[in-house]
Amino acid sequence: MLERISYRPIDCESLPLRLGERAELLAPLGPATGWRVREVGDGNLNLVFIVESDKGSLVVKQALPYARVVGESWPMSLDRAFFEHEALKRLGARDPGRVPDLKLFDPAQALLVMEHLTPHKVVRRALIEGEELPRLGEHLGLYLARTLFRGSDWSMPTAARKADLALFSGNVELAGITEELVFSDPFKDAPLNRHTPGLEAVAQAVHADRALKIAAQEMKARFATCAQTLLHGDLHTGSVMATADDTRVIDAEFALYGPMGFDVGVLLAHLWMAFFTRKAHRPDMRAAARTGDQLLATAETCWRVFAAEFSRLWRTERTGILGGRDLFEDQGDAVGSEAVLARHLDTVWRDALGFAGIEIHRRILGLAHVAEFEVIADLGLRAALERTALAFGRHLAVNRRDVNTVELDTVDAVNRVARDMERQ
């Protein structure tokens, strides 16, 4: 894409010199001589700085030309900053107030300046610390319904939809990372894989598990071929920041067109992984039980709010190429349109279960692990919890067609499986 002859990574010292003249920072922060800068990036790919002054604060995010999690041996295109910017604009327009305000995008420096979300915490960290986030499930359910519906053929006119599909097809490098790291590597002996000591036999069993590998391949086919809507593409609990009453979605660089169930399933997988690790982080049994109930309730609320809001949008905003009002409502057949909706939600639910099961595997057996497991110092306990989560993930991926959809009792059934597996 862009020639970036002048691209240079920023550091804490150079940031005020490099950005100190930009009006977008000067206005909220005042002169650069008063800026205090710290690097806070703990993700796998980018530099993230918080810039504070006595007047205010902002976040500066810059893409690196390699994957931070591996190092310079894994070169990566800087174009992901462009796709993140394009995606955040769209996601923010589709669910206003749910992503950070964008202040500046500098394509040559692969750099984004945005609102500093404070006192928000990264949700993964908040959940490890046992924090209660009572609005999280509701907010994320609404966000999923609005962004997934409004980015789809049911909402968008055909020309805009196809232009967007073409645009985000360019995010090929990050799509390729997901295709390999999520759907393939964990199910074979891949060089970047790692796992907790003690899980060798489990990893071998996964590599030999034909039913699971078929499920992984089926989900990969859904991901690669079903360009249903604009996805966030990496919607785990590290991509969400929250307080007790606000929730924001960040880090949209993996955005691409794909199946709705992918964003839903990845998010549910991370809530369920938080559930499986709660006892390691909450030694008090009653506190752990309470945290567990909250996590399952958050996952359940997220799905139910998603389904309800998606249904509302279906009934009120179905103006896109797939609208279908001419076949149903216009002929006095609202029942027919409800049947199409029910079938679609059923597909999203089963896809979400499949993607959740695969996501759990890749976070335990693949390259990119998650803190709720990684910070458990007792490796025996960590391996035991990971085994339980893998068993649950396998159940979701392999049996996704037999887990009934939408109704409360279905979500309860999934929760019961999780609890039963823990007792084994």
Residues that bind Mg ion (CB under 5 A): 43, 251
CB of 63 to ligand SR1, least distance (A): 12
Q: Which does 147 bind (CB under 5 to 8 A by kind): Mg ion, ligand SR1, none?
A: none
Q: Which does 79 bind (CB under 5 to 8 A by kind): ligand SR1, Mg ion, none?
A: none
Q: Between 60 and 307, name the residue whose CB sits nearer to Mg ion.
A: 60
Rounded (10°) angle between helices 379-398 and 408-423: 140
Q: Which does 368 bind (CB under 5 to 8 A by kind): ligand SR1, Mg ion, none?
A: ligand SR1
The three state secondary structure string of 23-85 is HHHHHHHCCHHHCEEEECCCCCCEEEEEEECCCCEEEEEEECCEECCCEEEEECCCCHHHHHH
Cis preceding-peptide flag for 119 (omega within 30 of 0):
yes
Consecutive H or E run containing 291: helix 285-316
CB of 79 to ligand SR1, least distance (A): 15
Give the full edge-to-edge strand order of the sheet including 121-122: 121-122, 240-242, 247-249
CB of 248 to Mg ion, least distance (A): 14
Q: Between 239 and 301, name the residue whose CB sits nearer to ligand SR1.
A: 239
Q: Between 75 and 134, name the residue whose CB sits nearer to ligand SR1.
A: 75
Q: Between 43 and 261, name the residue whose CB sits nearer to Mg ion.
A: 43
Q: Which does 32 bind (CB under 5 to 8 A by kind): Mg ion, ligand SR1, none?
A: none
CB of 45 to ligand SR1, least distance (A): 6
CB of 84 to ligand SR1, least distance (A): 12
HSE-up (13 A, CA, CB side) for residue 80: 28
For residue 243, give the DSSP letter.
-
Task: List contacts with ligand SR1 (CB under 6 A).
Answer: 43-45, 67, 69, 177-178, 181, 234, 368
Q: Is residue 168 classed exposed, middle or buried when 0-12, 13-18 and 19+ CB atoms within 10 A define those classes?
A: buried
Tokens of 406: 């939408």
Q: Which does 67 bind (CB under 5 to 8 A by kind): Mg ion, ligand SR1, none?
A: ligand SR1
Q: Which does 181 bind (CB under 5 to 8 A by kind): ligand SR1, Mg ion, none?
A: ligand SR1
CB of 146 to ligand SR1, least distance (A): 23
Q: Between 51 and 181, name the residue whose CB sits nearer to ligand SR1.
A: 181
Rounded to whole angstroms, how far apart are CA atoms 421 and 424? Answer: 5
Nearest Cα to 357, choosing from 395, 303, 405, 402? 395
Q: Which does 379 bind (CB under 5 to 8 A by kind): Mg ion, ligand SR1, none?
A: none
Q: Which does 69 bind (CB under 5 to 8 A by kind): ligand SR1, Mg ion, none?
A: ligand SR1
Q: Between 179 and 422, name the residue whose CB sits nearer to ligand SR1.
A: 179
CB of 254 to Mg ion, least distance (A): 7
Q: Which does 114 bind (CB under 5 to 8 A by kind): ligand SR1, Mg ion, none?
A: none
Rounded to whole angstroms, how far apart are CA atoms 25 and 116? Answer: 12
Tokens of 371: 């803190």
CB of 68 to ligand SR1, least distance (A): 8
Q: Between 69 and 327, name the residue whose CB sits nearer to ligand SR1.
A: 69
Q: Which residue is nearest to Mg ion (CB)?
A: 251
CB of 179 to Mg ion, least distance (A): 17
Structure-token match 């360019």, residue found? 170
Q: Which residues contact 68 (CB under 8 A, 6 or more apart)?
A: 41, 43, 44, 45, 46, 47
Rounded (10°) angle between helices 379-398 and 210-225: 70
Are 255 and 232 a contacting pair, CB within 8 Å?
A: yes
E-state strands within 98-177: 102-106, 111-115, 121-122
Q: Between 106 and 185, name the residue whose CB sits nearer to ligand SR1.
A: 185
CB of 45 to Mg ion, least distance (A): 6
Q: Between 43 and 186, name the residue whose CB sits nearer to Mg ion.
A: 43
Tokens of 412: 């309860």
Consecutive H or E run containing 241: strand 240-242
Rounded to whole angstroms, how far apart are CA atoms 66 and 69? Answer: 9
Q: Between 397 and 414, name the residue whose CB sits nearer to ligand SR1.
A: 397
